[in-house]
Amino acid sequence: MKNNIKLTIWTLNHLWVIFFSYLLSIFFVLLPIHGAFGFSMDDDGTYLSNALMHIGSGAVLALATGLLQYLSLKRYFKVSFKWVWALLTGFVFAEIFAGVVLWKLEIYRGLINVFNTSNHIPEALIFAFAGLITGILQFRLLKPHFKKHFYWIVSSTLGWGFLILSTSLGLFAFLLGAILYGFVTGLVLFTILELKPQNKNGD
């Protein structure tokens, strides 16, 4: 029962944090960067402007989510602030990598985001890649404390991928995606926290 309550709170907290940080990233980062390059909303921009827009947007989303998780996890174990940096690193690296690949393919990053295409798989893969990098970095922070920490990598990858993939049902399904991210990561995390802690040798 206690875990169900914890999971519900974790999921709902991620719902509002992800939703509002994503909106803020659009209006206060993505669009201003686009405008700083002298483009209007009707313009595609350049490969560089597209990359910087989405790096900045992803960083805002990662920072907000990372801070929420850091403050939440402090109740259960001595989590390092590197947890937040791991999320930032994951999203920034994934967007830089995506920017380079899309530049080589001559595709603007903005044309594959959820607002400009009906095929949401490419952006879902970018977010899943960010989740994979994040999960790999964060699981090392869980390793000294808990067993089965490897599953956090899976939940982080799937959770961020589901966030974007859910918008295939419509933009408002982004809320469903945020719930799915919170549920998937929370389910795995609280399962890990319930397991026997690692011993001093990390076995």
- The tens place of each residue's pLDDT in the chain, 203 residues long, gives 678 999 999 999 999 999 999 999 999 999 999 999 999 988 999 999 999 999 999 999 999 999 999 999 999 999 999 999 999 999 999 999 999 999 999 999 999 999 999 999 999 999 999 999 999 999 999 988 888 788 999 999 999 999 999 999 998 999 999 999 999 999 999 999 887 565 554 44
Model-level pTM greater than 0.75?
Answer: yes
Pair of tokens at residue 170: 């419509």
Asked if 37 and 46 touch (Cβ cutoff 8 Å), the reply is yes
Exposure of 71 in the CB half-sphere (CA atoms within 13 A): 9
Q: What is the largest CA-CA distance in the chain?
A: 58
Cβ-contact 134, 163 below 8 angstroms: no
Q: Tell me how crowded residue 189 is: count the other CB atoms within 10 A of its CB.
A: 24
Alpha-carbon distance of 149 to 197, in angstroms, equals: 10
Residue 123 token pair:
């952006």
Cα separation, 120 vs 133, whole angstroms = 20
Predicted pLDDT at 199: 56
Check if the beta carbon of residue 162 is closer than 8 Å to that of residue 180.
yes
